[in-house]
Amino acid sequence: MARLRRVSAVLLIIWLILPLIPLAIWSFAGVWRYPNLLPQIWSYRPWSFALSDQSGVLSSLALTAGIALAVTLISVVIGVPAGRALGLYTFRGKALVELIILAPIIVPGIAVALGLQTVFIGLGLNNTVTGVVLVHLIPTLPYMVLVMAAVFAAYDPLAEDQARSLGASPAQVFRHVTLPAVLPGIVVGAMFTFLVSWGQYILTLTIGGGRVQTLPLIMFQFVVSGRNDITGAIAMIYILPGVLILILTARHLTGRSAALTGFGR
Partner 1 sequence: MQDRLKIALLLAPALIVILVLFFGGLGVGLLRSFNYMPVIGLNDPNLDAYRSLLSSPEVYRSFGLTLYIATTSTVIATVLAVATALLLRRSFPGRAVASFLVQLNLTIPHLVGGIGILYLFSQSGSFARLAHEYAVIAKPADFPALIFDPYAIGVILTYVWKEVPFITVITLATLQALGDDHETIARTLGATWGQAFRHVLLPQIMPGVLAASAIVFAFTFGAYEIPALLGASHPQALPVIAYRSFTDADLAARPQALALAMLIALISGLMIVVYSRALRGKGRG
Nearest to 208 by CA among 121, 118, 128, 119: 128
Residues 122-181 that bind partner 1 (CB under 8 A): 122, 134-135, 137-138, 141-142, 145, 153
Q: How many chain residues touch partner 1 (CB under 8 A)?
A: 97
Residue in 12, 58, 62, 179 binding partner 1, rule: CB under 8 A: 12
For the CB of residue 54, give the shortest distance to partner 1 in the complex, in Å.
22
Q: Is 54 in the site for partner 1 (CB under 8 A)?
A: no
Torsion of CA 144, 124, 110, 219, to 10 degrees: -90
The tally of CA atoms less than 13 A away on the side-chain side of residue 168 is: 16
- Distance, in Å, from the CA atom of 26 to the CA atom of 39, rounded to the nearest integer, reads 8
Residue range at the interface with partner 1 (CB under 8 A); choices 3-11, 52-60, 161-169, 175-183: 3-11
AA identity, residue 258: A
Residues 195-234 that bind partner 1 (CB under 8 A): 195, 198-199, 201-202, 205-206, 216, 219-220, 223-224, 228, 231
Residues 24-43 that bind partner 1 (CB under 8 A): 26, 34-37
**Cα dihedral 96, 150, 238, 23 sign:** negative
For the CB of residue 31, give the shortest distance to partner 1 in the complex, in Å.
14
3-state secondary structure of 41: strand
Residues 87-116 that bind partner 1 (CB under 8 A): 89, 91, 97, 99-116
